[in-house]
Amino acid sequence: MVVLNRIYTRTGDAGETALGSGERVSKANIRIAAYGTVDETNATVGLVRLHMAGLDKLDAMLARIQNELFDLGADLCVPDRGEKLEWEPLRILPKQYERLEAEIDELNAELSPLRSFVLPAGHAAASHLHVSRTVCRRAERLIVELKSIEGEHVSEGAIAYINRLSDFFFVASRWVNFRAADGDVLWVPGKTR
């Protein structure tokens, strides 16, 4: 259970923070960067949701995703060191990224196939979804880098979820532009030459 009576504790003033396991690490630790970027992704989704008027189906999906991003942060902040813990750590489950796959398919079913790359533009929500997508990809790169470090563990579910999520944001941005704007804003190679 989370209890926040005081927001500042002064325990991080020397540049360290605690993982969910209680282990103290540098705030520059790659694990901290990974779940910090997951948190940043979540904040961008909050901005997207400010522009969801008339897009209730997608807003409901995004509300769930915001909660799941906290699940992902919880997964990442308690590394599996092979030790028995007093509680069961929260891990991303296959049904969470499988739901993303189903929602990608549902949104994509309404869209025409792409014949060009799209620019991160159009409706405000679509543009913000592209920001979410790029921040999410950065989080994915950090999570994969973390996994590549000897002695570090990242759950398979965490990597699968963050990978699907960036795909979701891309398709959702196209869906918003289809539903609420004039469609995709397409890249025209060499247009300004």
Would you state the pLDDT for residue 12? Answer: 67
pLDDT at residue 149 tops 80: yes
Write down the mean pLDDT value for the chain. 93
> 26-75+90-108+117-180: what fold?
Hypothetical Protein Ta1238; Chain: A; (1.20.1200)
- List the domain boundaries for the chain: 26-75+90-108+117-180
pLDDT at 66: 98
Q: What is the mean pLDDT of residues 168-178?
A: 98
Q: What is the average pLDDT across 109-127?
A: 96
Q: What is the CA radius of gyration of the chain?
A: 19
pLDDT per residue as tens digits for the range 67-91? 999 999 999 999 988 788 888 899 9
Provide the pLDDT for residue 4.
63
pLDDT (0 to 100) of residue 23: 85
11 has a pLDDT exceeding 90: no
pTM for this structure?
0.92
Q: Is the pLDDT of residue 182 over 80?
A: yes
The pLDDT value given to residue 73:
98
